[in-house]
């Protein structure tokens, strides 16, 4: 997983960032709902596979206590330099080993824009187990997938999420408008 992405970052071949920018209006609507569901509390978010930190920054700008994690050092280094945020933290770590990555616990929201789909079945299960361990009661996951457009990207259906995320309720489409605007499909998972 990491070698392919590290190579892509070095070569400047990062189609997922362009797709993420196109998908931003849908993401902002989805975050709006999450914020309305948590109006009077500190909201903690973990951006899974944060890359160069654009979505982590968006979360911070919207008032979330946000952290990004990615296993590509070059991407995380850029996230730290480019974002210049005192309130955002970035960790170099593997989403398949979240519990021991040093990100903390009690997250209300996990944001995954294309990370889950880059994992094989075993990696998906490990990531899901880590998310479950780090999740606060009532936590949600916003997970976006794309059509298979780059090496390593795998199709994601609701059944894949249900198999990996035990104890979570899966719904899709979360935002019917997002399919026409962005790069793929959004799922919303709620911890049961």
Q: Is residue 176 packed enough to be buried (19+ CB in 10 Å), middle (13-18) or exposed (0-12)?
A: exposed
Examine the pLDDT at 2 and tell me if it is beyond 80: no
pLDDT digits (tens, 9 = 90+) for 6-27: 666 666 666 566 666 677 888 9
Where do the structural domains in the chain lie, given as residue ranges? 2-191
For residues 98 and 115, give the distance between their C-alpha atoms in angstroms, rounded to a whole number: 13
Q: What is the structure's pLDDT at 103? A: 94
Which is more confidently placed, 75 or 111? 111
Give the full edge-to-edge strand order of the sheet including 44-48: 89-92, 65-70, 44-48, 107-113, 135-145, 185-191, 168-171
For residues 169 and 162, give the distance between their C-alpha atoms in angstroms, rounded to a whole number: 8
Q: What is the structure's pLDDT at 9? A: 62
Examine the pLDDT at 178 and tell me if it is beyond 50: no
Q: Which two tokens stand for residue 186?
A: 């959004």
- The CB density around residue 141, as the number of other CB atoms within 10 Å, is 25
Q: What is the structure's pLDDT at 17? A: 65
Q: What is the structure's pLDDT at 44? A: 96
Give pTM, 2 decimals: 0.86
Which is more confidently placed, 186 or 135? 135
Which class is 2-191 in CATH?
alpha beta
Q: What is the structure's pLDDT at 117? A: 87
pLDDT > 70: percent of the chain: 74
**E strands within 49-120?**
65-70, 89-92, 107-113
Q: What is the mean pLDDT of the chain?
A: 83
């Amino acid at each position: 997983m990491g070698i392919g992405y590290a190579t892509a970052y070095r070569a400047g071949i990062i189609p997922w960032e362009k797709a993420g920018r196109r998908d931003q209006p849908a993401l902002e609507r989805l975050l709006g709902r999450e914020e309305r569901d948590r109006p009077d509390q500190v909201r903690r978010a973990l951006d899974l596979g944060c890359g160069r930190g654009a979505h982590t920054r968006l979360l911070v700008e919207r008032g979330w206590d946000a952290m990004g994690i990615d296993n590509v050092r070059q991407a995380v280094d850029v996230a730290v330099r480019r974002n210049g945020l005192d309130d955002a933290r970035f960790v170099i770590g593997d989403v398949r080993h979240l519990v021991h990555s040093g990100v903390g616990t009690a997250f209300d929201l996990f944001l995954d824009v294309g990370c889950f789909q880059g994992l094989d079945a075993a990696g998906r299960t490990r990531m899901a187990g880590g998310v479950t361990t780090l999740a606060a009661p009532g936590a949600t996951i916003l997970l976006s997938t794309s059509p298979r457009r780059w090496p390593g990207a795998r199709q994601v259906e609701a059944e894949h999420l249900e198999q990996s995320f035990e104890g979570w309720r899966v719904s899709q489409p979360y935002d019917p408008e997002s399919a026409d605007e962005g790069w793929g499909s959004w799922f919303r998972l709620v911890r049961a």
